[in-house]
Each structure stands twice: as structure tokens, then as C-alpha cells.
Structure 1
């Protein structure tokens, strides 16, 4: 019960929260499967043929097209993509990223609980939560954008209902496919660097914004001193 309540936090009652970096990297490794799934989905949709041809029905017509290509006839079906599995995976990604933002909600994230459990026997490496929140915010934007891309009509209907006007079309995907293809690779790279290299790109961007005084951040390094080790060094 204690581990369920604290998850990966050093002390959930601290004014400035710190989380276990080892658990964060394990969680990133678990979430890595989500952008991989999206990459495979987008590759299948945009870079493979949408037509299913029955080879047994293909016959030569002995005619030529205007550019002198041989014309064949046969039974063909156009592939229809149904994005329900991708939608539910992205909904979970949005939920999990939001859950990590606070102490109370993090308890209900299966990946956070699992990563904290797997990191229990390793020496903890405490890092401030603020930069991680910023990085997860970027991931949240990417996941939400992909969710809209896979469900354009639902999103368009919602927007049109709110504004009582046909702002977005509901019969076509108004988002160019190049955008989600690029963003999903960015998301995959960010999670891979966090899980494998321990490099948090979102945290570096957060640090840059703090230096530019766009964001305010306390000196967390001052709050993470090992006073017991300092006392032992002075006594020695």
C-alpha cells in the first residue's frame, strides 16, 4: 500500500516533488511500444498499396493505355482502414501522460506502478518533476494530435457543434498525412532517447526556457543535497 501511494516519488508531501529517474526511464521503455505501433500503422496506410488484387482473376486485355502500358483486368478491392485499436492505444497514452502530472493521479497509472516496482532494487536517482512535466506535455500534444488525425470526423463534429457552424469538414481528413508521419518519428526519438540514453529532450528545452526567463524554476539541486553524507565527510 505504501508503494502504491508513493509510486516513484521521493516524498509525495514535499513542496517541490522529486521522482526516481530510473523508474522514469523504465516507463519510457514501456511506452516506447506506442509510437512504434503508430509508425507501423502510418507506414502500412501511406506506403503500401490500398488495393487488394485477386491474382486468379487478372487477365490481359491486349489493349494499351495512352502511354503504351499493357492494360489488365481483374477483381480488385479497395482497403478500408479502421482505427479503433490505434484510437484506444492513443487514449491510454493521453491518460498515462496526464496521470504522471500529479501525485494522486500517478497511483492509477499501470505503467508508473510497474516501472516503480521494477526499479525498487536499484539505487534511486532523484530528479525534479517540473522538467519531466514539461516533457510529458510535449508528448501529450503529439499523442492528442495523432488522436485527432485518426478520428478527424469525430473531432470536426465536436468543433462544429461547439461553435454552431461548419468550421471543419466531416467527410475528409483535413490534416495532411506528412504532419503526423513527421511527429510520430519525433515522438519515437524522444522516448527512445529517454529510455535508452537517459537523455530527456523535453527537459533540455525546459532548461533553455528557464535560462531565457520564459519559465521560472527553483534551484532543485539545492534541495537535493545529501546532508547525511556531508555530515559524515565533515566528521571524518
Structure 2
């Protein structure tokens, strides 16, 4: 691991930067510990949405969850975990006493953009009244992807970013 600050930071400097900078290093970094906590929160949200769709579909959770996920993922992709991503704020807050693990921001931004696209897909499927199976399939993928990130620390979007665009720094960390 490269020599990064062991200090956990709630806000980036400048505040709306996508990640944190470190002296002597190029590129922005995001705290992987907070990112994984955020993924865990989104995993719980996707699981609850699936359960509600299966057992109480009349509650229509996607009409509420879809916009939340779209905003949350878009804000994270554009401005980092804090201060505009609601799940990023909570994920960061609950990991403040844990040591940070700084990772490159670009792959995470790419992954969060894909997450926003999946949110849009869910909402469009719902608004166009697609069969429930289609919606459940996308939600199932969201569940698996957030579980992989939260539990195993494997970000499929980051992996895909490295395959498509290359990321030498990703292999070093």
C-alpha cells in the first residue's frame, strides 16, 4: 500500500472534490472502507425492495427507491461520497473510527455511473410497466453487485473499468 494518510476524513478538500488528494501522488482517492459500508447500505435497500416487490407489490417500492438510487449514485460519481450522496454520508459516518483504505477514484466513479444507469433501468422498467421478472432481474443484479463490494471488497465496476480503460494504479493497490 502506498503512503497515504491514516486519518479518516469526512469531507474532501475542496469540499466537492470527487476524492481526496495526497501530497506527492497524482489522482484522487476515495476511502474504500466508507465505500464498502455504503455498498452494504445499498445492498440492504436492494434486498428490501426485492422482498417488498415479491410479498407486497402494491406498495410499489421502485417508484421511491429508483430515484433515490439514481440521485445517490450520480452525486457520488460527480462529487464523491460526501457531502451530496446520502448513502455516502452515512457510510462515511459509520466508518469514522475505522482505518481508511485509499483507492483510486476513477474506477469508483465509473462503477457509480453504472449504478446510476441500473437505477434508471429499474425506474424505466417500472414506469413502462415491464413484467415484474425483468425488474426483479435488475434488482437481483444490484443485490449481487453491492454484496460483492460490501462483503468481499470486489467492485465489479472497478474491475470492468480496469479491463476497458486500464488502470496501472489499481493493480498496485
1:9 aligns with 2:19: yes
Relative to the length of structure 1, the TM-score reads: 0.58
Match of 1:114 among 87, 90, 99: 90
Quick one: structure 1 residues 28 and 104, their matched pair in 2 at CA, closer, same or farther if it must change by over 3 Å? closer
Higher strand share: 1
1:19 aligns with 2:65: no
Report what 1:41 is aligned to.
Answer: 52
Q: CA deviation at 1:42?
A: 3.0
| Residues in 2 aligned to 1:195 and 1:136: alpha-carbon distance in whole angstroms | 14
| Residues in 1 aligned to 2:46 and 2:171: alpha-carbon distance in whole angstroms | 36
Report what 1:98 is aligned to.
Answer: 74
Q: CA deviation at 1:91?
A: 0.9
Relative to the length of structure 2, the TM-score reads: 0.77
Figure out how many residues of one structure are paired with residues of the other and give that number. Answer: 161
Higher helix share: 2
Q: CA deviation at 1:15?
A: 6.1
Q: CA deviation at 1:189?
A: 0.3
Report what 1:201 is aligned to.
Answer: 156
Greater relative contact order: 1 or 2 (C-alpha under 8 angstroms, separation 6 or more)?
2
| Residues in 2 aligned to 1:141 and 1:10: alpha-carbon distance in whole angstroms | 25
**Which has more radius of gyration?**
1
**1:174-216 Cα deviation digits (max 9, x unpaired):** x3433222111111000011111111111111122135xxxxx
| Conservation of the 8 A alpha-carbon contact between 1:12 and 1:103 | no
